[in-house]
């Protein structure tokens, strides 16, 4: 028996560099695995880094020329290089800024976990080549995000739950 992981099972590496508490790695792996399965992506590796505003802002400034901390950044790996048998193909990196995600969750009437799952899925779709730069592509991407969230038992990320937070 070989200890090499099956190339069909995606590998999700979580790197925690934020002081904001976040779900266990297994939760991120479950979310990512569901999204990758919906995209029919097997045998891939994805790196997810959980950061605070300073690092997110610096990365956004360095790679996109924008001086603010975004909720999510995606860095697809476009190289098509040969891999040893059984090795997963690197798909790219996702950076999630936890303080921004936390603030947005409150603003949009979502739980932190719901917003975090949505943005991880959003980032994975970007790594897979999806974009929201034009209206038809945005609508298709949002529909896919909503379907993946539903598969995970999570609510539509584009419907606000603020009415449930209002005092009665």
Q: Domain for residue 49, yes or no?
A: yes
Domain assignment of residue 64, given as a range: 11-152
The pLDDT tens digits for 112-126 are: 999 999 999 999 999
The answer to whether the beta carbons of residues 39 and 78 sit under 8 Å apart is no
Q: Domain for residue 160, yes or no?
A: no
The pLDDT tens digits for 59-97 are: 999 999 999 999 999 999 977 777 788 788 899 999 999
Residue stretches of the annotated binding site for Zn(2+): 122, 126, 132
Task: Look at the block and give the residue holding tokens 């921004």.
Answer: 100
Mean predicted lDDT score pLDDT of the chain: 90
CA distance 45 to 87: 9
For residue 148, the domain's CATH number is 3.40.390.30
Number of domains in the chain: 1
> What is the per-residue pLDDT for 81?
73
Does this model's pTM top 0.75? My answer is yes
From first CA to last CA, the distance across the chain in angstroms is 61
Residue stretches of the annotated binding site: 122, 126, 132
CA distance 118 to 24: 16
- Both tokens assigned to 112: 């932190």
The pLDDT tens digits for 153-163 are: 999 999 876 54
Say yes or no to pLDDT of 165 above 50. no
User: CA-CA distances (angstroms) from residue 77 to 10, 17, 44, 49, 137?
Assistant: 15, 22, 11, 15, 21
Q: Domain for residue 162, yes or no?
A: no
Mean local confidence (pLDDT), 24-36: 96
Q: Domain for residue 4, yes or no?
A: no
Helix (H, G, I), strand (E, B) or coil at 39: coil
> What is the per-residue pLDDT for 9?
76
> What is the per-residue pLDDT for 162?
52
Q: Domain for residue 26, yes or no?
A: yes
């Amino acid at each position: 028996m070989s200890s090499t992981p099956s190339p069909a099972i995606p590998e999700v590496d979580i790197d925690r560099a934020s002081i904001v508490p976040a779900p266990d790695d297994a939760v991120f792996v479950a979310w990512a695995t569901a999204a990758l399965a919906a995209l029919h992506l097997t045998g891939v590796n994805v790196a997810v880094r959980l950061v605070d505003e300073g690092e997110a802002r610096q990365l956004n400034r360095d790679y996109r020329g924008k001086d603010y901390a975004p909720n999510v950044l995606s860095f697809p790996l476009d190289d098509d290089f040969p891999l040893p048998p059984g090795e997963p193909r690197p798909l790219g990196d996702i950076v999630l800024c936890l303080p921004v995600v936390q603030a947005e969750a409150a603003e949009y009437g979502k739980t932190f976990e719901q917003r975090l799952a949505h943005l991880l899925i959003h980032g994975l779709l970007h790594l897979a080549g999806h974009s929201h730069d034009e209206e038809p592509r945005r609508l298709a991407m949002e529909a896919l995000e909503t379907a993946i969230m539903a598969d995970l038992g999570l609510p539509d990320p584009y419907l606000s739950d603020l009415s449930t937070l209002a005092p009665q």
